[in-house]
């Protein structure tokens, strides 16, 4: 609405200038014997001078109005799109007045549909690390995730006479784990194609165990998880066959309660190890689809923790264990489809391989992990700069949670924008 009003004023201004130009042309086209007699004089027609001055003032006003409209649209959209700038002053000769008016009228019918469809796709890419925010844009994302996992354990209390003959008690346990994990994420677009972000997880975890006698025990925990922060840089922009390419580095701390400093009835919300992760993300568009892929490597840093010494004569004995958690390699592939101007759908596959963890140089059994998740998601832009992001995941390997579901409500605002040019009249 604001853009239409401003552009309507520009059209009226152009029409007035065109009328003045037509009158001047008509007046100058009449035969004047006195003008012929004075053709050799260097003096210029005062009417032409005034007309040129009026055209220069009009050009400066148009340029200033367009810049203001661009800045206002950028602020109204929450700084989502990079604002266009008018870097060159238009030179409008009298013969092109009608073309300029038609161009402005065409611009006044600016199609918001294409911009909104781009917003839906861009939001899905931003959440998945395939696109950066414009410089000066802050996005706050509060995502709540639910994870459900189950596993069956068989334990033997006895001794083996032969590989197929076990003497003792065999017990079966079924474990159910439920996690409700809100994540507060803040992203900030920085100059020079950079973006910084910080993630603060805090949530609730419930573990229920049912033994062979159908006796259920449960334990729960609520608190802060491991805070992480990262920085991303865009390496290339899509052109021709070259895709968008981004690189990022993340550091995860140990702010959450780790499993080494808790009592047996407590649950850990942290890992107890710092880690550094590197990512390389690529995105290629083929309207109306965007394909993306990601490669990641996570280096889990070594750490020393106090653990039980497993001494039968002294059950309370402890020792300092030297842990070397295994590094992880992962990849992600998928596509994003714009269903309509406000909605996009995402289909992706996540895969990660984690090496075994060692304690004092010896591999811990069953610590090698293979995680695979099929993900479906959707993003809905219900207002400029405001989105609802839904994600549904199904674990297809034993080491992956059976069900994953998350709801995110990110919104963004512009902290700084383009500098307003002063009115330039020559």
Tens of pLDDT, residue by residue over 259-277, are 776 665 556 778 889 999 9
Check which CATH number belongs to the domain holding 299 and give it: 2.40.160.40
**pLDDT digits over 236-255, tens only?**
988 888 999 999 999 999 99
Claim to verify: residue 209 and residue 313 sit in the same structural domain: yes
Rounded to an integer, the average pLDDT of 356-373 is: 90
Is the model more confident about 71 or about 239? 239
What pLDDT score does 131 carry? 82
Q: Which two tokens stand for residue 88?
A: 């060159």
Pair (123, 94) in one structural domain: no
Peptide bond into 141 cis (omega under 30): no
Answer yes or no: is pLDDT of 426 > 80: no
Q: Are residues 30 and 143 in the same domain?
A: no
| Cα 387 to Cα 409: distance, rounded to the nearest angstrom | 6
Among residues 110, 141, 168, which one ends one of the domains?
110
Q: What is the mean pLDDT of residues 40-44?
A: 52
According to the model, what pLDDT value does residue 247 have?
95
SS3 call for 160: strand
- Are residues 367 and 280 part of one domain? yes
Mean pLDDT of 130-159: 76
Question: For position 218, what pLDDT does the model report?
Answer: 78
79, 137 in Cβ contact below 8 A? yes
Same domain, 135 and 102: no
In a domain, 424, yes or no: no
Number of folded domains that form the chain: 2
Residues 89 and 127 in one domain: no
Please say whether the beta carbons of 248 and 233 come within 8 A: yes
Helix axis angle, 97-108 relative to 2-29, nearest 10°? 170
Q: What are the tens digits of pLDDT across the range 387-412? A: 899 999 999 998 898 999 999 999 88
More confident residue, 197 or 63: 197
Q: Domain of 337? A: 116-414
Question: pTM score, two decimals?
Answer: 0.67
- State yes or no: pLDDT of 120 exceeds 70: no
Domain-located, residue 178: yes
Tell me if 125 sits within 8 A of 336, measured CB to CB: yes
């Amino acid at each position: 609405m604001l853009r239409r009003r401003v552009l309507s004023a520009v059209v009226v201004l152009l029409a007035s200038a065109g009328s003045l130009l037509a009158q001047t042309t008509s007046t100058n086209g009449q035969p004047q014997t006195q003008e012929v007699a004075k053709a050799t004089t260097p003096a210029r027609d005062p009417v032409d001078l005034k007309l040129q001055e009026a055209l220069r003032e009009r050009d400066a006003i148009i340029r200033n109005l367009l810049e203001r409209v661009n800045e206002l649209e950028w602020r109204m959209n929450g700084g989502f799109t990079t604002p266009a700038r008018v870097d060159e002053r238009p030179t409008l000769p009298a013969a092109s007045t009608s073309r300029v008016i038609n161009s402005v009228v065409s611009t006044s019918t600016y199609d918001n549909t294409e911009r909104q469809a781009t917003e839906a796709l861009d939001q899905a890419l931003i959440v998945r690390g395939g696109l950066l925010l414009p410089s000066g844009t802050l996005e706050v994302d509060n995502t709540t995730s639910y994870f459900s996992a189950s596993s069956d354990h068989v334990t033997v209390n006895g001794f083996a006479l032969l590989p197929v003959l076990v003497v003792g008690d065999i017990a079966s346990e079924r474990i159910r784990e439920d996690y409700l994990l809100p994540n507060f994420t803040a992203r900030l677009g920085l100059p020079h194609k950079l973006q910084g972000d910080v993630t603060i997880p805090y949530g609730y975890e419930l573990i229920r165990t049912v033994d062979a006698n159908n006796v259920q025990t449960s334990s729960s925990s609520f608190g802060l998880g491991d805070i992480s922060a990262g920085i991303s840089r865009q390496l290339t922009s899509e052109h021709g066959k070259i895709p968008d390419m981004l690189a990022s580095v993340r550091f995860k701390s140990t702010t959450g309660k780790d499993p080494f400093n808790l009592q047996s009835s407590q649950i850990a919300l942290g890992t107890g190890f710092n880690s550094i992760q590197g990512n390389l993300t690529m995105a290629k568009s083929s309207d109306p689809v965007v394909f993306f892929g990601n490669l990641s490597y996570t280096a889990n840093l070594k750490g020393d923790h106090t653990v039980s010494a497993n001494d039968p004569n002294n059950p309370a004995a402890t020792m300092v264990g030297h842990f070397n958690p295994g590094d992880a390699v992962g990849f992600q592939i998928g596509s994003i489809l714009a269903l309509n101007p406000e909605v996009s759908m995402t289909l992706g596959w996540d895969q990660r391989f984690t090496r075994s963890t060692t304690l004092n140089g010896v591999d811990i059994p069953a610590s090698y992990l293979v995680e695979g998740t099929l993900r479906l998601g959707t993003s809905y832009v219900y207002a400029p700069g405001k989105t609802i992001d839904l994600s549904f995941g199904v674990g297809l390997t034993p080491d992956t949670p059976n069900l994953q579901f998350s709801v995110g409500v990110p919104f963004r605002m512009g902290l700084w924008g383009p500098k307003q040019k002063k009115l330039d009249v020559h």
